[in-house]
Amino acid sequence: MQSLKSDALEPTRPELARLPARARLMSRLPVYGLPILTVLLILLFSLLLPQTFPTMLNLRSILADKSIIAILSLAAMIPMVTGKLDLTVGYGIVLWHILVISLQEAGLPWPAACLLVVIMGGLVGLLNGVLIEIARIDSFIATLGTGTVLYAVALWHTGGRQIVAELSPAFHAINATFVFGLPVTTYYVLILAVLLWIMLEYTPTGRFLYAIGANPRAAMLNGIPVARYTIAAFVISGILSGFAGILLAAKLRIGQASVGLEYLLPALVGAFLGSTTIRPGRVNVWGTMIGVAILAVGISGIQQFGGSFWVEPMFNGMTLLTAIGIAGYARRRRGTGNKPVTSTRTDKGG
């Protein structure tokens, strides 16, 4: 079953050398288009909103608000490398942030509660991986089903009410602390991004994951244990989702089932945008970070102009469509060249 397809859009060096200057510039548009657009948005909002946008207060607000989305985008990105989707990153955070508070309410020390939630997140990822690789269920269907069950458990546990507990100040500090003037959650995101980047780009594990995403059958014939690495990708995703739930609990200080699902769309948008920039056609860490950044900057600027409550989902959807349109335009231009060019198609499936 196929869950996700993408085309590798990044031109090779020999291809670039054969292109005229204008065509060469257009071919690089998918690589640098979103970073340039992000910078232009920052400059635009800074000029239009000089009193509120280019301030340290606004920077801190953006970083604090979007750190959880960034972590969830990284969680969604890892299975996408193997060609799979993980929808439980949005559903799971609902249960995890409730559970970490409930465990503390029951008397469990907060470090133990956090550890247990992270372990449970990994176990849910393991279940997803088994359903997809062993039971051969499409990743979209499997994770949608698992995520819906998690959400139902959260509703049952809370009974539709808020979960309130006396939480340790040390637990609050894992989200509320500032380091060198920036929220500590910013450093969590940076550390995770660097670790995942190193793993994907400079280790055999990363090469195996990309090979599975490109062609699982070929990867298997080359001796790569496809099922094992795909399951591991979902376990990592589940662990990151559990960690994001802990941060959400420390931020809100209450648990409620109505909070969390709004993180699903921006997390997936950030991960999808990551496959259209820096290394177009290939899901990558820094592309994902830029995808989250452009969402954060755009939404912050529009809201400061007095945008309504529907602005954020509208901007998320429009940004995704625009990015995919740019990538598709570049791909079509490459296909109209006089000389045949070597392209890589990655059929990502399970």
pLDDT tens for 168-186 read: 899 999 998 999 989 999 9
The confidence score (pLDDT) of residue 118 equals: 97
What is the mean predicted confidence (pLDDT) over 82-94?
Answer: 92
Question: Tokens at residue 171, please?
Answer: 């637990």
Q: Is the pLDDT of residue 336 over 90?
A: no
Can you tell me the distance from the alpha carbon of 216 to that of 209, in angstroms, rounded to the nearest whole number? 9
Q: What are phi and psi of 349, to 5 degrees?
A: -150, 175
Can you tell me the distance from the alpha carbon of 29 to that of 26, in angstroms, rounded to the nearest whole number? 5
Can you tell me the distance from the alpha carbon of 27 to that of 147, in angstroms, rounded to the nearest whole number? 39
Beta bridge partners of 345: 7
What is the mean predicted confidence (pLDDT) over 39-49?
Answer: 91
The confidence score (pLDDT) of residue 152 equals: 94
**Which of 23-27, 116-120, 153-157, 291-295 has the weakest average pLDDT?**
23-27
The confidence score (pLDDT) of residue 341 equals: 39
Can you tell me the distance from the alpha carbon of 94 to that of 72, in angstroms, rounded to the nearest whole number? 12
| DSSP label at residue 339 | S
Instruction: Please tell me which residue, 321 or 324, carries the higher pLDDT value.
Output: 321
- Residue 136 — pLDDT band, cuts 50, 70, 90? very high
SS3 helix, strand, coil % of the chain, rounded to 5? 70, 5, 25
CA angle 177, 180, 181 (to 5 degrees): 70
Q: Where are the beta strands (DSSP E) in the chain?
A: 2-7, 163-164, 178-179, 182-183, 254-255, 345-349
Which contiguous run of DSSP H or E holds residue 151? helix 139-158
Q: What are phi and psi of 5, to 5 degrees?
A: -125, 145
The confidence score (pLDDT) of residue 52 equals: 87
**Which of 19-33, 47-61, 122-136, 149-163 has the weakest average pLDDT?**
19-33
Tokens 């090469």: give the residue: 207
| Number of helical (H) and strand (E) elements in the chain, helices listed first | 15, 6
* Closest listed residue to residue 260, CA positions, set 90, 129, 145: 90
The confidence score (pLDDT) of residue 3 equals: 46
Can you tell me the distance from the alpha carbon of 43 to that of 87, in angstroms, rounded to the nearest whole number? 34
The confidence score (pLDDT) of residue 326 equals: 59
Can you tell me the distance from the alpha carbon of 146 to that of 237, in angstroms, rounded to the nearest whole number? 14
Q: How many CB atoms lie within 10 A of CB 350?
A: 24
Can you tell me the distance from the alpha carbon of 348 to that of 324, in angstroms, rounded to the nearest whole number? 17
**Which of 122-136, 178-192, 241-255, 319-333 has the weakest average pLDDT?**
319-333
- Residue 347 — pLDDT band, cuts 50, 70, 90? very low
Question: Tokens at residue 88, please?
Answer: 């439980």
Q: Are strands 182-183 and 254-255 parallel, antiparallel or unpaired?
A: unpaired
What is the mean predicted confidence (pLDDT) over 244-255?
Answer: 92
What is the mean predicted confidence (pLDDT) over 322-337?
Answer: 58
DSSP, collapsed to helix, strand or coil, labels residue 2 as strand
* Closest listed residue to residue 288, CA positions, set 45, 81, 5: 81
- The tens digit of pLDDT for each residue in 274-300 reads 777 777 668 899 989 998 998 899 888
- At a CB cut-off of 8 Å and minimum separation 6, what does 207 contact? none
> What pTM does this model have?
0.85
Yes or no: say if 184 and 60 are a contact pair by the CB < 8 Å rule: no
Can you tell me the distance from the alpha carbon of 251 to that of 244, in angstroms, rounded to the nearest whole number? 10
